[in-house]
Structure 1
Amino acid sequence: MSTPPLRKAARAVVLDADQRVLLLHYDENNGFWATPGGSLEPGEDYATAVIRELREELGVEEVDLGAQIAERSNDHPVGGLQVRQIEKYFLARVTPADIDLDRATQPDNIRSLRWWTQEDLRSTQETVYPRGLSKLVTGVLAEGPPEQPITLH
């Protein structure tokens, strides 16, 4: 069996002043919630990509981008093609007022967005990616960004 092609992606764990997490809802694969982000463009680094993705998906012009807090490697379909996605997650601070969907240029099949409290994340029965997001955010809020990115599964 051959290894799927590599796809590098940058994602943002977006928090507001109330420590709520922004997640986007997608209909594909039976529906799921996920952090904003997407694949790197040629020559782009992860931090630049995550800022671009927030602008393209959510119309965000101003973002307080923090450290990389996690990473994950996962094989899954993207646009019908099986890929091995390497994701790096960055802490980002945005206010709800910073989001302007009228400025978004690539909404990427996003059905809705929602700000989730820590309790929402812990208690939901809905599918949320990445798995372990609640624990990651709880740790970051309690102890600050980790010295080394946490590996998510």
Structure 2
Amino acid sequence: MSTPKAREAARAVVLDEDDRVLLLRYDEGGKVFWATPGGALDPGEDHQTAVRRELGEELGVTDAELDPQIATRTKEHLIQGETVRQIERYFVVRLSAGRVDPSRATQTDGILAWEWWTLTDLNATDQTVYPVGLTGLIDHFLSSGIPDAPFAFTD
């Protein structure tokens, strides 16, 4: 068995003025889930540049300021029929809800919906949300700020 190809990715934990988190809804081959905005790095791109590009492509936001990296996640999964080992870095982005305008998005990549979630709603949902443990990460960030070292998701 061969080792899956590594795929570097950058993701945004987008929080609004009411500490709600923005999640995007996807349906990949009948598997419906919610996830944070983001995606793979383009050749020669660093993680921060990739997050900013993805925010423009998926949310129509082109001038977001990023907080430092707060988490990492490594997960093997299928991308277009190929198993990859995705290595993600997560950054907090603070945006007012009114700045997010999906009608200005340039590449929606199969996004079915954009929705702001309270942490209470996120804790109570029976829908699939990635990464697993997102609520705990946001709770920690809101109470303690940027961690000394990035949190490592284990899902």
Report matched runs for 1:41-80 at 5 Å. Answer: 41-80=42-81
Report matched runs for 1:31-110 at 5 Å. Answer: 31-110=32-111
Corresponding residue for 1:136?
Answer: 137
Q: Which of structure 1's runs of 4+ aligned residues deviate more than 6 A?
A: none
Give distance in 1, aligned partners of 2:17 and 2:102.
20
Give distance in 2, aligned partners of 1:146 and 1:152.
14
Counterpart residue identity of residue 145, structure 2: G
Cα RMSD of the aligned pairs, angstroms, is 0.9
Shift of 1:62: 2.6
The 3-state SS of whatever aligns with 1:68 is strand
Counterpart residue identity of residue 2, structure 1: S
CA contact (8 A) 2:13 2:36 kept: yes
Corresponding residue for 1:11?
Answer: 11
Percent of aligned positions that are identical: 55
Shift of 1:101: 1.8
CA contact (8 A) 1:10 1:39 kept: yes
Unaligned runs of 5+ in 1: none
Counterpart residue identity of residue 4, structure 1: P
Per-residue displacement from partner, 1:22-64 (whole Å, max 9, x unpaired)?
Answer: 0000011520000000000011000110010000111112312
Superposition TM-score, scaled by structure 2 size: 0.96
Counterpart residue identity of residue 77, structure 1: L
Shift of 1:102: 2.3
Report matched runs for 1:113-152 at 5 Å. Answer: 113-152=114-153
Counterpart residue identity of residue 82, structure 1: T
Corresponding residue for 1:24?
Answer: 24
CA contact (8 A) 2:33 2:127 kept: yes
Superposition TM-score, scaled by structure 1 size: 0.97
Give distance in 2, aligned partners of 1:19 and 1:61.
21
Aligned pairs, number: 153
CA contact (8 A) 1:132 1:152 kept: yes
Give distance in 2, aligned partners of 1:40 and 1:46.
7
The 3-state SS of whatever aligns with 2:93 is strand
Shift of 1:86: 0.2
Unaligned runs of 5+ in 2: none
